[in-house]
Structure 1
């Protein structure tokens, strides 16, 4: 039963999804992309989005057009927010929670995070993906993402995302927290003003982040883990370790960093926050030529092992594909 605030109990919303794809369906006729050909090979097809709300087609419900979709009232008084096209980001026409939101989660999962942020989506809100199409690689990949996006916010919960250079590890870590209502992005790297490539990388990360996220640029990651209670996205452990070597002048004596690593692991183990951290998988690269390079690699590898042992989830990203590690 759903109870309107301050009012009597009412029946739950009846929601029937007769189709969830974009206007051209999935696969699209004549499209040769890997997503569409994979769907054809599996003899699967999703029809264009069509829904019944409390037994009535959406276009026969009372609705107000908003940018990117509709704010709908069903015949039984339920409130539904609907994305009417791919790329649509419907905004609530008035404050208050919805009974259901039907969103283009393939195109912009962060929109769900914003709706949670402003209180339009609560744990009682039903969340469905519509306008689905070949912007996602497969139905299985969509379900993998939806399982996390629909998951109620819980803490403590720790996730370590590993990957090599340009593997897509940062994008995967961001994807896992895009639908959270409050996120603090923890940037552990020191800004090198004289390095244009580094500045470009920092700009790329900033553009991807939703505007309502907070940002903390610090190497005191242990301190944040001890005090935070919301969601932390830490990017990443490799740059943190580099900054710690610099701060302690430890390049000639790497063992000086070990107490700080121990402190970080203790804080990770005892945190009350929901944390997703990115780290470099260094074990697959060539052996560094210098002793200090080998010491750095070994220390980061051991840190990864210790964090993974204290994490509820660990994933490895290779070429943008995600492998969940048991």
Structure 2
């Protein structure tokens, strides 16, 4: 079995369901939700509720973007959902939107994440959106996000034992 798996795809392509299937036989999984709670947003609450309802009751939950310590520690398999929200929240945390030159700080966090991913003693499955197949964004901040997302996906993929592409609920291996 691969130890590190990245599942890519577009929005609503079935990535999370594919990740959950990969770990379905595991009695103990730590589900790492990177999206935050977005308090007061009914649409977000409904999405979170659907994800929770699909997961086995035996799975644990960590709601965080602090992924490096989780990857460095021993423990049950991790399901990280998702790297796209991790990047967005990391960019928020360093306030890159008000000063694009802070992207270097984000790049450093990406490098630390990739290093921890490459050396993790745990089985880990991560979900991420492929955002580079669309049009070139009009504003510099969104272009930066797209570029960083592409770099993050590429480096995690190349450090993975397996990379999968999900579209319309179907998942195929990337070689």
TM-score interval, normalised by the smaller of the two chains: over 0.9
Q: State yes or no: 1:236 paired with 2:98.
A: no
Counterpart residue number, 2:61: 215
Q: Could you list the runs of 5+ residues in structure 2 that have no partner in the other structure?
A: none
Counterpart residue number, 1:200: 46
SS at match of 1:233: strand
Q: Contact 2:27–2:58 at 8 Å: present in 1 too?
A: no
Q: Distance in 2 between matches of 1:293 and 1:242?
A: 10
Q: Distance in 1 between matches of 2:30 and 2:76?
A: 8
Q: TM-score, normalised by structure 1?
A: 0.51
Counterpart residue number, 1:312: 161
Instruction: Output one character per residue of 1:169-192: Cα deviation in whole Å (capped at 9) or x when no partner.
Output: 110011100111210000011111
Higher relative contact order (CA 8 A, sep 6+): 2
Tell me the CA shift for residue 289 of structure 1.
Answer: 1.4
Name which one, 1 or 2, has greater alpha-carbon Rg. Answer: 1
Counterpart residue number, 2:174: 325
Q: Distance in 1 between matches of 2:134 and 2:38?
A: 25
Q: Contact 2:16–2:81 at 8 Å: present in 1 too?
A: yes
Residue among 164, 178, 184 paired with 2:10:
164
Residue among 113, 136, 140 paired with 1:291:
140
Instruction: Output one character per residue of 1:116-148: Cα deviation in whole Å (capped at 9) or x when no partner.
Output: xxxxxxxxxxxxxxxxxxxxxxxxxxxxxxxxx
Tell me the CA shift for residue 284 of structure 1.
Answer: 1.2
Q: Distance in 1 between matches of 2:37 and 2:139?
A: 25
Counterpart residue number, 1:9: none
Q: Distance in 2 between matches of 1:228 and 1:257?
A: 26
Q: Distance in 2 between matches of 1:182 and 1:277?
A: 16
Counterpart residue number, 2:149: 300
Q: Could you list the runs of 5+ residues in structure 1 that have no partner in the other structure?
A: 1-150
Q: Distance in 2 between matches of 1:288 and 1:175?
A: 33
Greater helix proportion: 2
Query: CA RMSD of the aligned region, Å?
Result: 1.2
Q: Distance in 1 between matches of 2:141 and 2:116?
A: 26
Q: Contact 2:29–2:78 at 8 Å: present in 1 too?
A: yes
Counterpart residue number, 1:58: none
Counterpart residue number, 1:175: 21
SS at match of 2:75: coil
SS at match of 2:17: helix
Counterpart residue number, 1:272: 121
4+ residue runs of structure 1 moved beyond 2 angstroms?
252-256
Residues 228/188 of structure 1: CA separation in 2 closer, same or farther (3 Å cut): farther
